[in-house]
Structure 1
Amino acid sequence: MAAPDIKDIERRMDGAVETLRKEFGGLRTGRASASLLDPVHVDAYGSSVPLNQVANVSVPEPRLITVSVWDRTTVKAVEKAIREAGLGLNPQTEGQTIRVPIPELNQERRKELSKVAAKYSEEARVAVRNVRRDGMDRLKKMQKDGDLSEDELKVWSDKVQAMTDAHIKKIDEALAAKEKEIMQV
């Protein structure tokens, strides 16, 4: 019996949960943080690049992020990317420096951030389900090729499903914790 690569499936599911945690790290709850702009991608040089590849991001004070754009020609694109990133931020350009004031968290802003957190967690769930589907497809192929019996297919399928359920639970717990943090006044 050739065992399917369950470790690979688990590693990829862990990756989806880890990515979600990083995205949640970018959802600061009223304090400025350089990681707040991590999800921002800028259309520059003919492709979409992470913000940190076209500018320096710093936090000079608790409610302000400054973005020092390296190339003058990309300033407008960077400002547009920050404004359209769905983070509720309103950047102001001064030469090659973009000042991004962090708004006070009112109830409306908290609800917005909760929606963003929910969107991130749904993307993570989809990623985990895609890994499960991929794993199940590999199992079915192994069975079709004669490497797995019907019973072994059932056992491995159950393991993959249990792993999926555990990772979805981790995602839901992370979302609940983040929403609680966001809604805390």
Structure 2
Amino acid sequence: MKAIKIILGIITVLVLAFFVTGLVVKETKYTATVSVNKPVEEVFDAFIKIDSVKNWIPEVQSVTTINKNPGITGSIYDVVVLTQGQEIKMTEKIMAYVPNEKVTLFFDAENMLKKDDYIFTDENNTTTITLSASCKSDSYIMACLFPYFKSTFQEQDQSYLNNFKKYIEEEKNQ
């Protein structure tokens, strides 16, 4: 009987810790970076071409333009990704756009709200892309989960940046 009380006590503490996470951590933030051996103009142009995103993010199935603004900021796209055999539809909005310097994207993917802020810096024809990302959710349960998946989110975004580096360096050398 004592063992059952101890086990139930441990489970209760773990459940409470999980739910407190959602109260304490409102947003999960992380960074990723990559250096590309190309000038910033070439890297930025390739990065913002919405049709080529499938070349470095393999899960992307389709991208449909909903609203394309002349200044690019405010443009909206519907993106369909296939992850673990399930199609997920999300909306991508360009929140900020400064040619060859910065692009900020906002994604609404059902219960995940994600902001990706990409900064492009050039030094001796090597471009460094720095991503500052933040995730939050309208769903309390999802908000409780996100902090525990921070390293997974970061690894995934880092792999996308690495894929982009490989894509741009190999494609332009062929």
TM-score (norm: length of structure 2): 0.28
Bigger Rg, structure 1 or 2: 1
The structure carrying a bigger helix percent of its residues is 1
Question: Which has the bigger relative contact order, CA under 8 A and spacing at least 6?
Answer: 2
